[in-house]
Amino acid sequence: GAGVSQSPRYKVAKRGQDVALRCDPISGHVSLFWYQQALGQGPEFLTYFQNEAQLDKSGLPSDRFFAERPEGSVSTLKIQRTQQEDSAVYLCASSLWLAVNTGELFFGEGSRLTVL
């Protein structure tokens, strides 16, 4: 596709419900990042994939958060037993190679999760 696509754009979940957020990166992009952006804050790193390998998951806030990218393209961020503090916009970003070399990450529009 032309850009990074995320779905759903909006998700309302009841506390305790499981949710899955999808990211379809730009075709051919090797690196994929997930960020969490709370209201009034900058994006905070969650996890990073290089192709299908999850090389860094240090930002995942708890073991309720799980991400995968099984074929090195589409990625899914899963949140189990959602809590109110999980309410945020979840941004996915991709880059052609290592972002540190070019600096440019291409971001999707994000998935806004509201946990009631």
Q: Which residue has the tokens 């090797």?
A: 30
Contact present, 12 and 19 (Cβ < 8 Å): no
Size of interface with other proteins, in residues (CB under 8 A): 32
Residue 116 CA neighbour count, 13 Å, CB half: 4
Q: Is 50 in the site for other proteins (CB under 8 A)?
A: yes
- Applying CB under 8 A, the span of 11-19, 20-28, 77-85, 90-98 interacting with other proteins comes to 90-98
Cβ–Cβ < 8 Å for 94, 3: no
CB of 57 to other proteins, least distance (A): 11
Count of alpha carbons within 13 angstroms of residue 83, beta-carbon side = 6
With binding defined as CB under 8 A, does residue 101 bind other proteins?
Answer: yes
The residues binding other proteins (CB under 8 A) are 4, 31, 33, 35, 40-45, 48, 50, 55-56, 59, 89, 91, 95, 98-110, 112
